[in-house]
Amino acid sequence: MSNRDLEYFQRLKQEVASTYKKAYPSCDIPIEEWTSQDITNFQEELLKQVKGQLSEKWFYTHIKSTQNKVPRLDMLNLLSEYAGYKNWRDFTSQFAASDPPKETPAMNTWAQRSKGWKKVFWVSTPLVVLVYFLFFYTPAAKTYQFCFVDADLKHSISSANIEISILKEHESPVVLKCDSNGCFQLTTGEKSVRFAVSAPYHKPDTIIRYFDVRVPDERIMLKSDDYALMIHMFSTSNIDDWRKRRAQLNDMIADEARIFQVNPGSRTGMELYNKKGFINKLTTPIKSLKNIEVLDVQYQGGQISSLRFVQKGINIQ
């Protein structure tokens, strides 16, 4: 990035510090001098306000360090959003608009010479530009890649079952699938994208991203769905304490929960369980009932209100 970007980043750090001070008024030192407790408080603030995360090592590398290096665009977007802007582009554009261009003698001479013919074309030029953009200009399509990462474990979510729904106003969603590496590609000429993501054993989320051709690849964090993981673990592990397992399931599942077993090979294609029936199924020590794969979970009041699952290895004719 340019020296101008470095200058903008220094301004952004000041904006971040000002925003942080609203939550912690006692912090009256520059951001470069923050203590470990300040950094910990700031990490909690990021997670609370913009659902973002950064490590203490990253803070020392990019905030406390004197090296002339600007962070990745996704982190610049995160800090800009915390400071009250849409993203890094919004932040820099507002500062660029407030900075008057520096005049040079050549610029002054050019302005004097062109003053006469500018008066002639001041009406026609905007009209010509408008006509060109309306009839001839189309944004060049670029290809961007998004990959999903487990927010807790910090490793890629390797699953082809991640489903993406591209959301556009006044249009039906366009559904895409990730590859086995947990990634998908999108070719578009738009400036931004909004999509919903659904992944096994991870909480659903709606993502909004502004495109930057300089950063065509982006990693997106997904939070794990602990209850779905526990149900899968219960069905695949050998646990002798059945009473404890039943108690845990009873706390996890709402009394009026609707639980569906998807049976692709059956005539009906689906089987409905109530809470008691599902707990009995999951705590019966029979190998044929093992290996449940959770497809979808919905919550209400901190408990599972709806669950869809498939039993792997079972073929129903």
Instruction: Using a pLDDT cut of 90, give the percent of the chain over it.
Output: 22
Query: Alpha-carbon distance 99 to 110, whole Å?
Result: 21
Q: 245-256 pLDDT, tens per residue?
A: 889 999 999 999
Q: How confident is the model at residue 228 (pLDDT cuts 50, 70, 90)?
A: confident
Residue 56 pLDDT exceeds 50: yes
H-run or E-run covering 228: helix 226-236
Domain ranges of the chain: 3-98, 105-135, 144-222, 226-311
Rounded to 10 deg, the angle between the 88-98 and 3-23 helix axes is: 110
Q: Mention every residue, 6+ apart, whose C-beta is less than 8 A from residue 204.
A: 196, 197, 198
Task: Find the mean pLDDT for residues 26-32.
Answer: 89
**What is the second-level CATH architecture of the domain 144-222?**
Sandwich (2.60)
Residue 109 vs residue 45, higher pLDDT: 45
Q: 302 — alpha (psi -120 to 50), left (phi > 0) or beta? A: left
Instruction: Using a pLDDT cut of 70, give the percent of the chain over it.
Output: 80
Query: Alpha-carbon distance 273 to 271, whole Å?
Result: 7
The structure's pTM equals 0.48
**What is the second-level CATH architecture of the domain 226-311?**
Roll (3.10)
Query: Alpha-carbon distance 84 to 187, whole Å?
Result: 29
pLDDT at 80: 92
Q: Are 3 and 70 in contact (CB under 8 A)?
A: no
Task: Find the mean pLDDT for residues 142-163.
Answer: 86
Amino acid present at 58: W
Note whether 144-222 and 226-311 share their fold: no
